[in-house]
Amino acid sequence: MWVRIRVPASTANLGPGFDSLGMALPLFTTIQVRRSVRTKVVLQGPVLQGLPENEDNLVVQMIGHLFALRNLEPPPVELVMESQIPLTRGLGSSAAAIIGGLLAGNVLLADQEKPFSTDELFQIATRLEGHPDNVGASLYGGLVVTIWDGQRAYCQKLMPPASLHVTLAVPSYPLPTERARGALPMHYSKEDAVFNLSHTGFLVAALASGKLQMLRHAMRDRLHQPYRAALVPGMQEILERGQEYGALGCALSGAGPSVLALSEGEQPELARFMRQVFLEKGIEAQVYSFRPWSDGAEVEREEVLEGSSR
């Protein structure tokens, strides 16, 4: 019996909500797994090229981690994985793999004893990832407001307003999270902290109420984007001029280098503008236009591997 898990991508921060706000996006990592006599990993598609195809694979490690929490030996597994989520682009690829691996492990664990609850999986994923925004969005879907005190995480899901639209520009070069976090200062002024607190509250109010025009004033940030601008050529221009082309607000997606714009309905001129800004910096960028993804990770059992004639 195969288990099929589909996990959405995520964007984090949305400007001022550093390490606390997240949103699911309709790009997916798909994992199919079953017990086997020995571990075998098959990675499909160009996105996952170069990743481990053995026990070092992150999904396999997550299965093992979950069994270890129950003091059980993990079973060998046959794993088939593909992904639409570009790696190291600020779109939660590692969070999706963590969630997918934990969900896979949880189904396998249920063959032997009581599985973990969804909230317990969220707690485990947050500890592993170090912050709850991406894993919360990938697990629960929609818009998530999260908090994490180093011991316990909390997540409140909001349904995205029906007219909310995302334009996402994904540059062709990677930006490792460690490098992006290394650009941040160790200390912030009280003024900058208050600035982000107030803008985060206003942003959540805009999204929760559906009053999207409020986003025009809500997505500015002083805690991370100014310090990462040098790592993402073109980002600052998109942030400053996006509203001229139909954006309500723009932000760096997670640690970058992807940049997103939120709008009311689809804005083709905005997509062209974002692509052109990167091109003028000598950078190719793939631009997506879609609604946020309202559903969370999905788990289902299958008799036959999808795409197989068996």
What's the whole-number mean pLDDT along residues 57-84?
96
Say if residue 309's pLDDT is above 50: no
Is the separation of the CB atoms in 254 and 242 below 8 Å?
A: no
Confidence bin at 120 (pLDDT 50/70/90): very high
Q: Is 92 annotated as a binding residue?
A: yes
Q: Is 87 annotated as a binding residue?
A: yes
What's the whole-number mean pLDDT along residues 56-69?
97
- The pLDDT assigned to 306 comes to 64
Say if residue 5's pLDDT is above 80: yes
Contacts of 132 (CB under 8 A, 6+ apart): 19, 20, 22, 122, 125, 126, 144, 146, 147, 148, 153, 154, 155
Residue 225 tokens, joined: 């984007």
Say if residue 7's pLDDT is above 90: yes
Q: Is 308 annotated as a binding residue?
A: no
Is the separation of the CB atoms in 266 and 166 below 8 Å?
A: no
- The pLDDT assigned to 307 comes to 57
Is the separation of the CB atoms in 138 and 296 below 8 Å?
A: yes
With b for 16 or more beta-carbon neighbours within 10 A and e for fewer, the 98-120 pattern comes to: bbbbbbbbbbbbeeeeebbeeee
Phi, psi of 308 (to 5 degrees): -105, 155
Say if residue 64's pLDDT is above 60: yes
DSSP 169: E
Tell me the three state secondary structure of residue 216. helix
Mean pLDDT of the residues in the chain: 95
Q: Is 255 annotated as a binding residue?
A: no
Q: Is 138 annotated as a binding residue?
A: no
Residue 170 tokens, joined: 């994904």
What digits encode the pLDDT tens for the residues 182-234? 999 999 999 999 999 999 999 999 999 999 999 999 999 999 999 999 999 99
Query: What separation in angstroms does the CA of 15 have from each of 94, 124, 228, 310?
Result: 20, 26, 12, 47
Say if residue 94's pLDDT is above 60: yes
What's the whole-number mean pLDDT along residues 74-87?
96
Phi, psi of 12 (to 5 degrees): -120, 160
Q: What is the DSSP string of 106-162?
A: HHHHTTTSPPPPHHHHHHHHHHHHSSSHHHHHHHH-SEEEEEE-SS-EEEEEEPPPT
Q: Is 91 annotated as a binding residue?
A: yes
Confidence bin at 112 (pLDDT 50/70/90): confident
The percentage of the chain sitting over the pLDDT mark of 90, rounded to a whole number, equals 92
Confidence bin at 304 (pLDDT 50/70/90): low
Q: How many CA atoms lie within 13 A of 309 on its CB side?
A: 0
Q: Is 201 annotated as a binding residue?
A: no
Q: Is 94 annotated as a binding residue?
A: yes
Confidence bin at 270 (pLDDT 50/70/90): very high
Classify strands 21-35 and 77-83 as parallel, antiparallel or unpaired. Answer: antiparallel
Q: For the chain, list the domains and their CATH numbers.
A: 2-158+294-302 (3.30.230.10), 164-290 (3.30.70.890)
What digits encode the pLDDT tens for the residues 135-150? 999 999 999 999 999 9
